[in-house]
Amino acid sequence: MLSTTSQVKVDPRDAKLSMAHFYVAFIALAIGGLMGLLQTLVRSGKFELPGGIGYYEILTVHGVLLGLVLTTFFIMGFQHAAVSRTAGTHSNAARRTGWIGFWVMTIGTTMAATMILMNKATVLYTFYAPLQAHWIFYAGLTFVVVGSWIDGAAQIMTYAKWRKANPGKPGPLLSFMAVVNTVLWFVCSLGVAAEVLFQLLPWSLGLVDRVNVLESRTLFWYFGHPLVYFWLLPAYMCWYAVIPKIIGGKIFSDSLARLSFLLFLLFSIPVGFHHQLTEPGIDPAWKFFQVILTFLVVIPSLMTAFSMFATFESAGRAKGAEGLFGWIKKLPWGDARFTVPFIGMAAFIPAGAGGIVNASNQMDQVVHNTIWITGHFHLTLATSVVLTFFGISYWLIPHLTGRKLSKAMNKLAIIQAWVWLTGMTFMSGSMHAEGLLGAPRRSAFSLYNGAKQAAEWIPYQIAQAIGGSILFLGIILVLIIFVNLAFFAPKGEEEFPVGETDPNAEKTPMVLENWKLWIGLTIILILFAYTIPFIDIIRDAPLGSKGFKTW
């Protein structure tokens, strides 16, 4: 699979581009993480924010910085490196494109952050109308999305160059995966772009008076669910294509890995209604139809689970493991590059199970907008994805900065992951339990007029504050490691591990590179799932809403 254009080392010019993304990502992690700590402390009822700072303002900072900024910047930085490593150095044009994308995103982030800090955009990271933020906030978000498109275009340029130079061959696996994720991102972020450009921006500028609330929410969730897969797929890139190399094994199946990515492209978008199951104005039959499609997106994750175990077991058996589970002992538990993402993988088991519950149509009434949901995505995003991102950083940052992950830092990284798991078990575990009792998400501490039910929730909220504090310790540790790897670690060469397929594995079918086919199918599925209900939403719309500033 390795071609002549594949580089063992990422070109230093591309490395600089990646690193620029990572600086922003880790600054976002530091600030966003601190906000998360404050939230759990406030909600325990034992602590109040100083200086009249609002709970919902820091909640907005937390969501925007960690949900949108950390993720997008890390993903783009990682994908640039992965493409440059496996499909060849960016051309000057592609690299310039990447830099333009980076700066557009950074300017957008600054605009949005400024408005949030001035308390002009305390609308949380979902910015549901008719809450109306300052127009600069919406413009800033537009810049972030448009910047990410430009950034992604650079990756596609380099991939296309490789394909042109290697006719009839499937692109390198990591690059292929990066491109699928970028295409997924293009297709889904059109929804939020339409919402912001055609609805929220003109409305916040006063050019139009009213906004169609349900239409804006539907466009948001057309984007909002694939958004979580845009976060997840880079983690899967590491699991499928990097981890096998680290554990001394082979990629279980190149074709199945590609197929699962394409299935994510197909099925992660036409499913937004499962976030709107309890909303008025949407026909229940269309909700159920999208529930069915949501269940289909479980399949590639089932495939992934099998592939991961199979990779581990094959590698272990190749090293002489015996018995049913002997291979577990052969895994390199002392290697942070493996152990940290592995803990992330393990967290995906309860995360996935919870996700199937959330998507189960009327069962959503048990958990909708309760803190169970917060617990859920702190397992998916804030454990599976984020721990994998940390695990990637531990070899990628030194690889890019010409340094080495020292023994001490490797050890600290493993401790960090266990600290994270401990904190998350407290926090996410108690969120799940409290949510089943009915406690709401996104709410400051409240006694609810002395309601008995609300009093029963307080112990869980204290557990969340304990978990949140442990997690913040985890953030301090990861920042120490990041700064060390970026500036202080000993000079040297750290490998960028790229998994290999078995030499006698079957050839990857070229149909998997038929982009017209896959993008075409994606569009057909989207049109099928959305056209009629979306027309209904517009046709049957009530009088639109004026803007409200209720914070």
Residues 440-469 that bind other proteins (CB under 8 A): 440-446, 448-449, 451-454
3-state secondary structure of 370: strand
Active-site choice (85, 90, 163, 225): 225
Part in contact with other proteins (CB under 8 A); list of ranges 29-37, 101-109, 166-174, 332-340 = 332-340
442 is catalytic: yes
Non-local CB neighbours of 148 within 8 Å, separated by 6+ positions: 72, 76, 101, 105, 185, 189
Residues of this chain, 349-378, that bind other proteins according to CB under 8 A: 349-350, 352-354, 356-357, 360-370
- Judged by CB under 8 A, the residue of 70, 214, 340, 478 near other proteins is 214
Using CB under 8 A as the binding rule, whether residue 30 contacts other proteins is answered as no
Residues of this chain, 475-504, that bind other proteins according to CB under 8 A: 495
Using CB under 8 A as the binding rule, whether residue 240 contacts other proteins is answered as no
Active-site choice (26, 252, 377, 460): 377
Least distance (Å) between residue 389 CB and other proteins: 19
d(CA 23, CA 482): 9
Part in contact with other proteins (CB under 8 A); list of ranges 187-195, 201-209, 306-314, 477-485 = 306-314
**8 Å CB contact between 80 and 18:** yes
225 is catalytic: yes
378 is catalytic: yes
- Judged by CB under 8 A, the residue of 30, 157, 299, 479 near other proteins is 299
DSSP string, 282-336: S-HHHHHHHHHHHHHTHHHHHHHHHHHHHHHHHHHHHTT--TTTGGGGGS-TT-H
Complex with other proteins: residue 155 or 358, whichever CB lies closer: 358
Complex with other proteins: residue 309 or 528, whichever CB lies closer: 309
317 is catalytic: no
Residues of this chain, 132-161, that bind other proteins according to CB under 8 A: none
Using CB under 8 A as the binding rule, whether residue 54 contacts other proteins is answered as yes
**8 Å CB contact between 351 and 411:** no
3-state secondary structure of 492: coil
Part in contact with other proteins (CB under 8 A); list of ranges 16-24, 232-240, 322-330, 518-526 = 322-330
Non-local CB neighbours of 178 within 8 Å, separated by 6+ positions: 79, 82, 83, 155, 159, 234, 237
Least distance (Å) between residue 259 CB and other proteins: 7
229 is catalytic: yes
Using CB under 8 A as the binding rule, whether residue 47 contacts other proteins is answered as no
- Judged by CB under 8 A, the residue of 19, 61, 213, 379 near other proteins is 213
Residues of this chain, 150-209, that bind other proteins according to CB under 8 A: none
**8 Å CB contact between 192 and 145:** yes
Active-site choice (163, 378, 399, 403): 378
CA distances (Å), origin 458, targets 45, 259, 360, 429, 450: 8, 46, 28, 14, 12
Complex with other proteins: residue 91 or 446, whichever CB lies closer: 446
Say which amino acid occupies 57.
E
CA angle 194, 200, 202 (to 5 degrees): 100
Q: Count other C-beta atoms under 10 Å from residue 255's C-beta.
A: 17
What's the first-to-final CA gap in the chain, in angstroms? 56
Residues marked active site are found at 225, 229, 376-378, 441-442
